[in-house]
Structure 1
Amino acid sequence: MDDQNKNLILATALSFLVIVGWFLLFPPEQQSPAPADQVTATAPGIAPVPPASVSGTPTPVPAATAPAAADAPRVTIDTARLSGSISLLGGRIDTLSLSDYHETLDKTSPKVALLSPVGTARPYYALYGWAPAGDLDSAAVPGPQTRWTLAQGDTLTPDSPITLRWDNGAGLTFTRVIAVDDNFMFSITQSVENNTGAPIRLAPYGIVARHGEPETKKFFILHEGVVRQNDTSLEEIGYGKMPDMDFVEREGARAEVTEVQENGWVGFTDKYWMTTLIPAPGQPFTSVAKYVAQADIYQVESRLPVMTVAPGATAQADTMLFAGAKEWEEIRHYQNDTGIFRFVDSIDWGWFFFLTKPIFAVLHFLNGFIGNMGWSIIALTFLLKALLFPLAYKSYVSMAKMKELQPEMEKLKERAGDDRQKLQQEMMALYKKEKVNPASGCLPILLQIPIFFSLYKVIFVTIELRHAPWLGWIRDLSAPDPTSIFNLFGLLPYAAPDANSILAIASIGILPILLGLSMWLQQKLNPAPTDPAQAMIFGWMPWIFMFMLGRFASGLVLYWIANNTITFTQQYLIMRSQGYKPDVFGNIKSTFRKKPKPDAK
């Protein structure tokens, strides 16, 4: 391999090293959500700010104290996958835990709490109401402080919806029917019966509110905050950007308001969980992302168009609320079978979405067939290598031919002497004559970079990898290898150093060591570069990568080990088929051979 080719590979490897270094410097933080019953010792919470009346007059809302919320009657939510309750104060869906998910690997640890009521550490809830229009007064419509009565049902289950009712005492009767399916989708039907003797105008809305900025991973490849579909446009707004949004809706609140003509949804997304307001497909609505500075509330709204209800008539609005885990299969079901436009894009697929989506779909299929995510990652690696095999074949054939041309290249160097330009010209002529592309060996390396980042994204953001075991000590493929040289790779009953510890960089587990060995062995297919500087850099690179990737997710390290092993096998067999026999053991021996000392002058 000539110096030009070595320099290109070296530049590519070092560029990759820099990018991977960024991940090491800014690793994702593993944090557990606060339990739903953790109560603050601070002042009572404040109610969310509902939409202004359609006429533009702000709707005043009194504070909702924690005792008032706690004293309100509740309706139990009980499904196979959800548990919680609905407060009759405002009809809020404000207590919700996910039965299938624990905060840690310990099955006795608390269930993941998604929604929490006012009075807890981080209130987070959904509520619905009506905004007045025309001459209708805000007191005539239900809002966050309305105390509903339970008209039908006593427990919300997939087989038994509940009905809430409120009579304003002035001829308007409001009804809200709440249903839930077997997974994470609530159906909300709001209706109003007009017995006032005159037409009324009003508009239904839904709100998801979060009090205070939630704890986030603060990792640049992960979006946490508002995610919404505005017809054909997907928009993401981080929590940090919401206080600086341009549109000022009213004093103390900043918002971005978008008119959705046909298909859309809006909500808050975390790494693995999401709460999203979804109007009926085809329904126009106003999508709002709002920050209420006075109350420190982050809020999203879906405002449906104004309805005119004739005397004696009833108007109805149907919407949905997704509150649960971002499981790809379920979200895709809601998209394909319920008609929620591009709902699968609520999962953060990243810049390489055109690779991330199909890679995850194949991984999900393999896991359904194999039943183990670790073996599925290895099977996926085989499929990716098979897909890239034609390119790899050409690359390795070209590398074998380059080896055959080494004697000719040495003669060219002798004839050219110090004339670098003449040497380059004669080398290019030789490549052209022998039909060899010196850069072809770099193409597989370059293609591995977007695949690597796509798979990293898949393992980092998809909930299907969370707490997914492989074998033995690897119980969570989304977390680093838990073994360490400090606990003799799990033989001693001590945990590995904390990720924030100064010892974490040296806390290398079994998988990272296997990664370093696989990279080192792959290098031994070729002799070390003659340039001492290049030889030193290439010699250290496997071990540098071993330490840098040591704190990455186990699933990603497993992929890289499998990829290196398959690459080594492919390259060895193809180069032998072209007449070049890599001296792997000889190259290994030369690594440990004592270098002769230069003669003394």
Structure 2
Amino acid sequence: MDDQNKNLLLATALSAVVLLGWYTFFPPPADEPAPTELAQSDLTPPTDGAVSAPAAAAAGAADAQAVSTTADAEDDAPRVAIDSPRLKGSISLKGGRIDDLALKDYQVTNDPASDIVHLLTPVGQANAYYALYGWAPGTGLGIDDVPGANTLWSASPDATLTPETPVTLTWDNGKGLSFTRTISVDADYMFKIDQAVTNATGASVALAPYGTLARHGEPQDLKNFFVLHEGLVREADGELSQVKYSNFEDFEVDPRDASNAETVAVEDSGWIGFTDHYWMATLIPENGQPYRAIAKHDPRRDIYQTDVVMPTMTVADGASAATSTQLFAGAKEWATIKAYEKAGIAGFIDSIDWGWFFMLTKPIFAVLHWLNQLIGNMGVAIIALTILIKVLVLPLAWKSYSSMAKMKELQPEMEKLKERAGDDRQKMQKEMMELYKKEKVNPAAGCLPILIQIPIFFSLYKVIFVTLELRHAPFFGPFQDLSAPDPTSLFNLFGLLPWASPAPESILALVFIGVLPILLGVSMWLQQKLNPAPTDPTQQMVFAWMPWVFMFMLGSFASGLVVYWIANNTITFAQQYLIMRSHGYTPDVFGNIRKSFKRGEKPESE
């Protein structure tokens, strides 16, 4: 077999390895199923309660180490409606649970007929997910003396929770303790829960207020994608923690013993809850209020739970005590969450998964969001962001591309060196180094733009994949969701025929790629033509294949990311073209030199 065939086979094998490796570490995300379309037959509800964390009282002082809550498999109790500008649902009077919540502004798919997104779900339905509040009994009180998950509260028959009309729930234990719970909601996604107790028992009582978030099983639409965090998210006195559902096994508990639960003592401020790809529910105690943040998993019933347990209150006879907490339940909108952070919820913007490169992802998204607000089109905003990034790195890129232009100029002399050196690689390397030194060329300088692009590319990929603002964001024509892969392909004549392309996870998606990946491959090939070719034939072959390998690799990635890459390649091509002109070259669009001059000479007018 001759060297050319060997090099071709080697280049093909290397490209295949790159392709397989890329799909191993960057698999295309699965389509998000509609939460409202889950089959009822898929549900296996617990028969003996939903959430469990028995209260424990320390000797001599009631100090709730955990909370005890149970919920029946079916809930037919009366409900209080929720109707705000962005939320709708209801509160069950059994336990006063906030367990039925949908987001008015978001649909499951881009189809106008699609149902809106449902975030919280009552017990008895698939993947029950809810928030509840109560009091853990201390010394002298039993579990039946305080309100829990099965307590039937009373409310006004015509009560509806709106931003203008809070709802007050009441319950009397019949033994001298009366409880009230006032729930209010703002115009976005924040609930406020004010709990109060009045003691008329004739003696002091001790009890601890708590809040709980519980979800039955992992989310149906769990991505399990390494670049995205889904699961527990917690801020405790300035320290952010994230725990995936698969790692909850580290604090699995028995329903009767919560000693293995993870407990974090928070002194001043924090929050804890569950985050999904685009949605989140979070318990937020008042700032300055110490509490314990608890996370646990009951494997027997497959229930994930987070609790906030406030310090025990001792309430004298004839006295009252009150506590206030907040509940965020909604979409992880950057502007909304940032506004809540400015209002006093410390570190709340970090509930969005910015990743390891947060020093890049945060400012990149802030600028992208500003550009989108200014332009009104996220795809155009991505292109504008690309231009801004290229302007910022222009000084470094100019130096690098100047070096590459000089390398291109030396290409004929390097070919002569190869002919003179023959198979003597050592001699060839030595003479090349002497040539570089003589011409003051740094061959490594051409790597700088690539080194800069890698973290920027990954950060932008993270931003596009994780942030809600890219979800269902339109560009133009058939590109109506920049967080989804290119919907066009040869299969539907690039959007001219009224049927969808193969699903991203399908092997056919590797072949039937869309317009954007093709433009990516062409732009990458054109940009590469302006670079000096490697002297090694194998490297030349690999580089020749690279644009087309990337074309297929990125075919199933988010359209917004491919738009960025096309814009980046196009701008880079223009930059290199102008720099080559400044060095006496007039290359055509394929990188071939049509006219050249000695350095230092002024190009003739064309």
If the length of structure 2 is used for normalisation, what is the TM-score? 0.89
Aligned twin of 2:530: 525
* Alpha-carbon distance in structure 2 between the residues aligned to 1:535 and 1:424: 17
Aligned twin of 1:474: 479
* Alpha-carbon distance in structure 1 between the residues aligned to 2:138 and 2:27: 50
Aligned twin of 2:597: none
* Alpha-carbon distance in structure 1 between the residues aligned to 2:19 and 2:357: 19
1:202 aligns with 2:211: no
- 1:500 positional shift: 3.3
Q: Which moved more, 1:279-288 or 1:485-494?
A: 485-494
Please show how residues 560-575 of structure 1 align to structure 2 within 5 Å. 560-575=565-580
Please show how residues 196-595 of structure 1 align to structure 2 within 5 Å. 196-215=201-220, 216-245=222-251, 250-251=256-257, 254-337=260-343, 339-406=344-411, 409=414, 420-421=425-426, 423-526=428-531, 529=534, 531-585=536-590, 587=592
The counterpart of 1:168, out of the listed 169, 173, 184, is: 173
Q: Write out per-residue CA displacement over residues 430-478 of structure 1, whole angstroms, 9 at most, x where no aligned residue.
A: 4344432210101101211111111111110101000000001100000
- 1:213 positional shift: 2.1
Indicate how the Cα distance of structure 1 residues 57 and 477 shifts in structure 2: closer, same or farther if over 3 A, else same: closer
Q: Write out per-residue CA displacement over residues 330-360 of structure 1, whole angstroms, 9 at most, x where no aligned residue.
A: 00000012x1110000001111111111100
Q: Which amino acid aligns with 2:388?
A: L
* Alpha-carbon distance in structure 2 between the residues aligned to 1:537 and 1:425: 24
1:47 and 1:144 in contact (8 A); partners too = no
- 1:310 positional shift: 1.6
Aligned twin of 2:183: 178
- 1:139 positional shift: 1.4
1:36 and 1:115 in contact (8 A); partners too = no
Q: Which amino acid aligns with 1:300?
A: T
Give the % identical residues.
62
Q: Which amino acid aligns with 2:361?
A: T
Q: Which amino acid aligns with 2:121?
A: S
Indicate how the Cα distance of structure 1 residues 23 and 342 shifts in structure 2: closer, same or farther if over 3 A, else same: farther
2:261 and 2:294 in contact (8 A); partners too = yes
Aligned twin of 1:53: 56
Aligned-residue RMSD, C-alpha = 2.7
1:132 and 1:141 in contact (8 A); partners too = yes
* Alpha-carbon distance in structure 2 between the residues aligned to 1:261 and 1:21: 44
Q: Which amino acid aligns with 2:230?
A: E
- 1:120 positional shift: 0.6
Q: Match of 1:439, SS?
A: helix
Q: Which amino acid aligns with 1:30?
A: D
1:36 and 1:116 in contact (8 A); partners too = no
* Alpha-carbon distance in structure 2 between the residues aligned to 1:486 and 1:474: 16
1:253 and 1:291 in contact (8 A); partners too = no
Q: Which amino acid aligns with 1:52?
A: A
Q: Which amino acid aligns with 1:476?
A: D
If the length of structure 1 is used for normalisation, what is the TM-score? 0.89
Q: Match of 1:101, SS?
A: strand
Indicate how the Cα distance of structure 1 residues 375 and 238 shifts in structure 2: closer, same or farther if over 3 A, else same: same
Q: Which amino acid aligns with 1:171?
A: G
* Alpha-carbon distance in structure 2 between the residues aligned to 1:80 and 1:259: 36
Q: Match of 1:335, SS?
A: helix
Aligned twin of 2:27: 26
Q: Which amino acid aligns with 1:29?
A: A
Q: Match of 1:334, SS?
A: helix
* Alpha-carbon distance in structure 2 between the residues aligned to 1:276 and 1:58: 18
1:89 aligns with 2:94: yes
Q: Match of 1:149, SS?
A: coil
Q: Write out per-residue CA displacement over residues 227-275 of structure 1, whole angstroms, 9 at most, x where no aligned residue.
A: 0011121111111111232788953784211111111100000000000
Indicate how the Cα distance of structure 1 residues 81 and 36 shifts in structure 2: closer, same or farther if over 3 A, else same: farther
Gaps of 5+ in 1: 1-9, 590-601
Aligned twin of 1:143: 148
1:243 and 1:254 in contact (8 A); partners too = no
1:64 aligns with 2:72: yes
Q: Which amino acid aligns with 1:365?
A: W
- 1:82 positional shift: 0.2
* Alpha-carbon distance in structure 2 between the residues aligned to 1:280 and 1:36: 37
Q: Which amino acid aligns with 1:35?
A: T
2:89 and 2:101 in contact (8 A); partners too = yes
Q: Write out per-residue CA displacement over residues 190-242 of structure 1, whole angstroms, 9 at most, x where no aligned residue.
A: 11111112211111000000012222111111111110011121111111111
2:88 and 2:103 in contact (8 A); partners too = yes
1:47 and 1:62 in contact (8 A); partners too = yes
Aligned twin of 1:80: 85
* Alpha-carbon distance in structure 2 between the residues aligned to 1:62 and 1:178: 21
1:262 and 1:284 in contact (8 A); partners too = yes
Q: Which amino acid aligns with 2:578?
A: L
Gaps of 5+ in 2: 1-10, 59-63, 595-606
* Alpha-carbon distance in structure 1 between the residues aligned to 2:580 and 2:17: 26
Q: Which amino acid aligns with 1:65?
A: A
* Alpha-carbon distance in structure 2 between the residues aligned to 1:448 and 1:62: 52
